[in-house]
Structure 1
Amino acid sequence: MAMNRARSIRYILTVKEAVKVAHQRTYAAGKAKKGSKGGGSADSPKASTLSKEVKASTVVGANILKEGTDPKILPDSEYPDWLWHLLDKRPALSELRRKNIETLSYEDLKRFVKLDNRARIKESNSLKAKN
């Protein structure tokens, strides 16, 4: 009896595997165009038709609209001051904790309060999760 069940289970598994293989989606290889030289030339990167002057004066690919042109690169004096400080490294919470709170700048103090509050919330949540 047990042998018959084992065979039937094995038969069911092989049928399921056969159905999976039969319903697998496959893609046909594309036909080569007349006059093309094979070797995957369609997948190779296209040579840029833009001149070096255009590449140096515009932000190529920044236009997200259907109509319009790519924006021109302006001199540094035309951009706001805060833009140049976006990538500056800001101190971590451990570094801020080592400093005297009274000597911190307003921005660092604001960052310290935010990061300290976030750390306390995480600790409180982990304690609640353990209980």
Structure 2
Amino acid sequence: MAMNHLWTLRGIVTVKEAIGIVGRRTFAAAGGKAKKGSQGGAAGDAAKASILSKEVKSTTVVGANILKDGADPKVLPDSEYPDWLWHLVDKKPALSELRRKNIETLPYEDLKRFVKLDNRARIKENNSLKAKN
């Protein structure tokens, strides 16, 4: 596995420096030695997660609080959220699908996406051609 990473680091560092990086000792998380046969804390996390009742899980967004003194936000009805939120999960057409369609009949958002993806593809192709020479 280390040899695979050496090839990616080749342009950045020398092999001697890479061996120093790979061979560097790391330390375990605080808390002393793990018990024999334990999974490193996964068992402790599972016990903590089951403390919450199903009612609390369905009415609050557990773990969304970012403030020290704050509380987890409550789940609101769908009508309380903005309309654009529900369109975030919509599938967007791929570049190959956009190329098959007539450009003049595309909606503005699809046309904008086509231009972006087409430019990105041309840049990648040009870069790969330059790299081979």
TM-score for both structures, normalised by structure 2: 0.64
Which residue of the partner structure matches residue 46 of structure 1? 47
- Structure-2 separation of matches of 1:127 and 1:104: 31
Q: What secondary structure, in the 3-state scheme, does the structure 2 residue paired with 1:46 have?
A: helix
Which residue of the partner structure matches residue 57 of structure 2? 55
**TM-aligned CA deviation for residue 61 of structure 1:** 1.3
Match of 2:107 among 95, 105, 109: 105
**Residue type of the alignment partner of 2:62:** V
Which residue of the partner structure matches residue 4 of structure 2? none
Task: For structure 2, list consecutive stretches of 5 or more residues without a partner in the other structure.
Answer: 1-24
Which residue of the partner structure matches residue 81 of structure 1? 83
Q: What secondary structure, in the 3-state scheme, does the structure 1 residue paired with 2:47 have?
A: coil
**Residue type of the alignment partner of 1:78:** E
In the TM superposition, structure 1's runs of 4+ consecutive aligned residues that sit over 4 Å from their partners are 24-31
Which residue of the partner structure matches residue 73 of structure 2? 71
Task: For structure 1, list consecutive stretches of 5 or more residues without a partner in the other structure.
Answer: 1-23, 32-38
- Structure-1 separation of matches of 2:100 and 2:63: 45
Q: For 1:36-86, what per-residue CA distance to the aligned partner results, in whole angstroms no more than 9, with x for missing partners?
A: xxx86x835316333332222111111122211000000000111111111
**TM-aligned CA deviation for residue 129 of structure 1:** 0.9
- Structure-1 separation of matches of 2:124 and 2:26: 46
Structure with higher Rg: it is 1
Aligned residues: 101
**TM-aligned CA deviation for residue 26 of structure 1:** 9.8
State the identity %.
76
Greater Cα shift, 72-81 or 45-54: 45-54
